[in-house]
Amino acid sequence: MAQDADWEVQYLWWNSETQSNWWDGYVRHALLVGDALHKQKVENYIERILASQDEDGYLGIYAPDLRYKAKGENGELWAQASLLRVLLGYYEHTQRQDVLDAVIRSVSRTMQAWPIGKSHPFNVSEPYAGVGHGLVYTDVLDRLFDYTQDSQYLDYANFLYLDFCQYELCDNDIMWGNLLDEEYKFQGHAVHTWEHLRPLVVSCFASNSPLLMQGLEAFLKRLPNYLTPSGAPIGDEFILGKYVDSTKVGYEYCSLQEWLDSLIILTRNSGDLNWLDEVEKIFFNAALGARHPDGKGIAYLKTDNSYSMTGDAGCHECGGTVHEVQTRYKYSPTHQEAAVCCVPNAGRITPYFVKSMWLEQEEGVLKALYGPSIFQTEIQGIKVEFEEVSTYPTELNSTIHVRSEKPVNFTLSYVYQTGQRLCLLTVSKLECKTVWLRLAKSGMKRARYRVYYHT
């Protein structure tokens, strides 16, 4: 419950987060599964959102007289970011140009309202979670650059991160000044700390700033102090200077989703494939482990070593907490007594993992994450389908089928952990043949990937 009226202002944007994050997971799941009923619900939702867009492109929660004018806690950028991520997820699957155009118009409206060098979106008094979450508007900008190759989106992402770093806000762990302070310990609301890696990464690689790169390196250097054996980043819900303790210091389900996405963005921008091991670790261990076995609830907060999951106060007492009564260490389908943020995010994490299992490269395709999946794409204008048949991670054997309309040359790359991180297999015509690859996966016994090429 709210402590005072000033704190309650964040309730004005909470529902936008809840709805958009829930729809983000639902849209991506429905399109992946392909069920006609659920796909129709998705189509109806998308049409309703497109119809709500104002003539000037605005897609958000504020009335015209309140837009881009907040002097305190607000959800302007955050409400837009969470909604536009839904539209971009739909576009990724359908390639509907009118949906992408709607996102572009919305972003153009925001960039006009808060222009680079002439505005300060984060210069507000008494900010809280909405302002902090707003920094991940860079998620939208990063994806738009991928789709359009228009550098103005990266420029704006860099502008937002640098503006954020100028002010004493509620969550300052990602500020480059704090990152470069070797004595600084993370303090913030954990989900902000872990999602804010994405704006830092995008800003680093957009600006090529040596100073920002030093900040990124300092962030990554700290990680052993904050990641549990399951791969989860701590914070229950705040970090408050604590370090990892698998029994006494927990993590939030929201942080699992945001950290997984941050690791994927870090991999895509840095090219360092070692981070994909962390993606698999957090998904198969922390994320799936924080779901109730009956599939009807998730843990808002959890420790790797769990001896009580009934919401008892005081059962996790390491360090301080902002909550007098901590009820979040339990399984629930809603967690309505606390906040309904984690449940919608629990619906996002699987499709975000799945969409990163196959990654396109200039020279071909990278098999980045393992598990049963089908990936369809075009290579040199020729339709190609990849299918992995496996029960990974319960077994280490996978069969990969590659099907194409006609012969095509490309490189198919496999991620595995051995002396050399990346195995490259160059396919010269996709002639019908069988190839056995023996790859060591994650330091375990030798895995076998059987690859079939079909024409």
pLDDT value of residue 451: 57
Does residue 161 sit in the same domain as residue 286? Answer: yes
pLDDT value of residue 346: 94
Per residue in 19-62, pLDDT tens?
999 999 999 999 999 999 999 999 999 999 999 999 999 999 99
pLDDT value of residue 416: 67
Give the end of a domain, one of 352, 373, 389. 352
pLDDT value of residue 162: 97
The CATH number of whichever domain residue 260 belongs to comes to 1.50.10
Q: How far apart are CA 346 and CA 349, in angstroms?
A: 6
Give the end of a domain, one of 320, 352, 384. 352
Does residue 380 sit in the same domain as residue 298? Answer: no
Question: 12 burial class (0-12, 13-18, 19+ CB within 10 angstroms)?
Answer: middle
Give the end of a domain, one of 326, 352, 378. 352
394 lies in some domain: yes
Does residue 276 sit in the same domain as residue 388? Answer: no
Does residue 405 sit in the same domain as residue 275? Answer: no
Poorest-pLDDT segment among 4-8, 16-20, 52-56, 348-352: 4-8
Does residue 344 sit in the same domain as residue 368? Answer: no
Per residue in 111-126, pLDDT tens?
999 999 999 999 998 8
pLDDT value of residue 284: 96
pLDDT value of residue 161: 97
Does residue 374 sit in the same domain as residue 243? Answer: no
Q: Name 33's Cβ contacts closer than 8 Å, sequence gap at least 6.
A: none
Distances (CA, A) of 49 to 37, 83, 136: 19, 9, 21
pLDDT at 425 over 90: no
Q: How far apart are CA 247 and CA 243, in angstroms?
A: 12
- Other beta carbons within 10 angstroms of residue 376's beta carbon come to 11
2 lies in some domain: no
Q: How far apart are CA 354 and CA 259, in angstroms?
A: 15
pLDDT band at 349 (very low <50, low <70, confident <90, very high): very high
Residue 278 CA neighbour count, 13 Å, CB half: 23
Buried b (16+ CB within 10 A) or exposed e, 336-359: eebbbbbbbbbbbbbbbbbbbbbb
pLDDT value of residue 5: 55
397-404 and 446-454 strand pairing: parallel
Helix or strand (DSSP H, E) at 252: strand 251-252
Does residue 299 sit in the same domain as residue 404? Answer: no
pLDDT value of residue 338: 77
- Other beta carbons within 10 angstroms of residue 224's beta carbon come to 9
Tokens 């309730």 correspond to what residue? 11
Phi, psi dihedrals of residue 347, rounded to the nearest 5°: -80, -10
Does residue 363 sit in the same domain as residue 393? Answer: yes
pLDDT band at 417 (very low <50, low <70, confident <90, very high): low
pLDDT value of residue 450: 57
144 lies in some domain: yes
Q: Three-state SS for 442?
A: coil
Please compute Rg for the chain using Cα positions: 22
- Closest residue by Cα to residue 203 from 167, 164, 166, 157: 157
pLDDT at 79 over 80: yes
Per residue in 281-300, pLDDT tens?
999 999 999 999 998 899 99
pLDDT value of residue 433: 39
1 lies in some domain: no
The secondary structure of 98-135 as a DSSP string is: HHHHHHHHHHHHHHHHS-TTT--TT--SS--HHHHHGG
Question: 323 burial class (0-12, 13-18, 19+ CB within 10 angstroms)?
Answer: middle
Under 8 Å between Cβ of 213 and 194: no
Does residue 73 sit in the same domain as residue 48? Answer: yes
For residue 95, what are the domain limits?
Answer: 7-352
Residue 183 CA neighbour count, 13 Å, CB half: 0
253 lies in some domain: yes
Q: How far apart are CA 284 and CA 282, in angstroms?
A: 6
Under 8 Å between Cβ of 70 and 123: no
Whole-model pTM: value is 0.90
Count of the separate structural domains present in the chain: 2
Helix or strand (DSSP H, E) at 202: helix 197-207
Does residue 293 sit in the same domain as residue 332? Answer: yes
Angle between helices 197-207 and 152-164 (to 10 degrees): 120
Chain length of the chain: 455
Per residue in 370-400, pLDDT tens?
999 999 999 888 898 999 999 988 887 788 8
- Other beta carbons within 10 angstroms of residue 141's beta carbon come to 28
pLDDT at 173 over 70: yes
Does residue 325 sit in the same domain as residue 413? Answer: no
Q: How far apart are CA 353 and CA 450, in angstroms?
A: 23
pLDDT value of residue 428: 41
Q: Name 139's Cβ contacts closer than 8 Å, sequence gap at least 6.
A: 81, 85, 198, 261
Does residue 399 sit in the same domain as residue 297? Answer: no
400 lies in some domain: yes
Q: Prior bond to 393 cis, omega within 30? A: yes
21 lies in some domain: yes
122 lies in some domain: yes
- Closest residue by Cα to residue 260 from 278, 239, 237, 235: 278
